[in-house]
Amino acid sequence: MAKISVSLIGYNEAHNLPRCLASLRWADEVVFVDCGSTDGSAAAAAAAGARVFSRPNNPNLNVNKQFGLEQCTGDWILYLDPDEAVSPELAGELRRAAQSGADAAYLLPRRNFYFGSWLRHGGKYPDRQLRFFRAGKAAFPCVDVHERLKVDGSVGALPAPLDHYPYNTSAELLRKLDFYAARKAERAAAGRRPLSLARAARRLLVNYFLKLGFLDGAAGLASAAADLFSEALAWVKSREGERA
């Protein structure tokens, strides 16, 4: 049997870790990189049987993500965020994919839950994520916070979902929006991705109306508003940086 490792990083994720780690009892190894948490995240991960490492909380999350991947000893590696969970169906598919070895890496469809509601529309599903790969066949370039794994080889796709719970409270929503807006402003300042309020407005119109985001009710509206607010906040932060 091919051995599967799961790698996670986290900063103050004690509220999310129990759900995530409970969904990983099938894994051969879990590696958790704690990024300066003060809420007992490291202890919670260790109590669940994870191998725990401590690192500074780097704003480019992929630096610590890559460190975590390098600590894994399995034949195959699954990268997760603490606010995600593996469905039983997906766990079985990961095992089968690791045994077949048909591709070097796999895309996973992701179900996003905002305030407990699964967003089926508005471009939020299937939200495919490149997360599962043969050891040594993928890595994070560590240039940008939103980058995907770079894969050496063919990429397949699995049908069972990965579950994502990014926003459970208003405080969590505001904290994450501020973090990612700051990263967008930094990218714009470095010339990697200019900000555009017009592009953000088009995205809202396309996702909420053309892609039927309104069918997800209040959660769909909150999702569309959050996307627009994140881009607007990044624009404000970039102007603040220019004046500093």
Q: What is the CATH number for 29?
A: 3.90.550.10
Encode 229-242: b = buried (16+ Cβ within 10 Å), e = exposed.
bbbebbbebbeeee
Opening angle at CA 5, ends 3 and 9, nearest 5: 175
- Considering the domain architecture, whether residues 50 and 92 belong to the same structural domain is answered as yes
Same domain, 139 and 89: yes
- Residue 235 sits in which domain range? 169-243
Average of per-residue pLDDT across 23-28: 98
Q: Are residues 120 and 68 in the same domain?
A: yes
32-79 pLDDT per residue, tens: 999 999 999 999 999 999 999 999 999 889 999 999 999 999 999 999
Mean pLDDT, the chain, whole residue set = 94
Tokens 């004690």 belong to residue: 14
Report the pLDDT averaged over residues 118-138. 97
pLDDT, one tens digit per residue, over 205-243 is 999 999 999 999 999 999 999 999 999 999 999 888 777
| Of the candidates 112, 61, 82, the residue with the CA atom closest to the CA atom of residue 16 | 82
Number of domains in the chain: 2
Among the three residues 133, 166, 199, which one is the final residue of a domain in this structure? 166
List CB contacts of 85: < 8 A, sequence separation 6 or more. 19, 20, 22, 23, 162, 163, 165
Q: Are residues 144 and 193 in the same domain?
A: no
Pick from 166, 183, 207: which residue ends a domain? 166
- 158 plus 212 within the same structural domain: no
122/207 same-domain check: no
H or E segment to which residue 121 belongs: none
Q: What CA–CA distance (Å, rounded) separates 17 from 48? A: 9
**Model confidence band, residue 136 (pLDDT cutoffs 50, 70, 90):** very high
Alpha-carbon span 213 to 224, nearest angstrom: 8
Name the pTM for this structure: 0.92
Same domain, 21 and 76: yes
Q: Do 149 and 93 reside in the same domain of the chain?
A: yes
Does one domain contain both 98 and 182? no
Distances (CA, A) of 111 to 19, 44, 128, 243: 15, 25, 9, 40
Is the domain of 32 the same as that of 143?
Answer: yes
- Show which of 166, 201, 222 is a domain's final residue: 166
In this structure, are 155 and 182 located in the same domain?
no
Residue 1's SS3 state is coil
Distances (CA, A) of 170 to 69, 72, 73, 102, 234: 31, 34, 38, 42, 19
pLDDT in tens, 142-201: 877 667 899 999 999 999 999 999 998 999 999 999 988 998 898 888 887 788 889 889
Q: Please give the pLDDT value at position 196.
A: 86
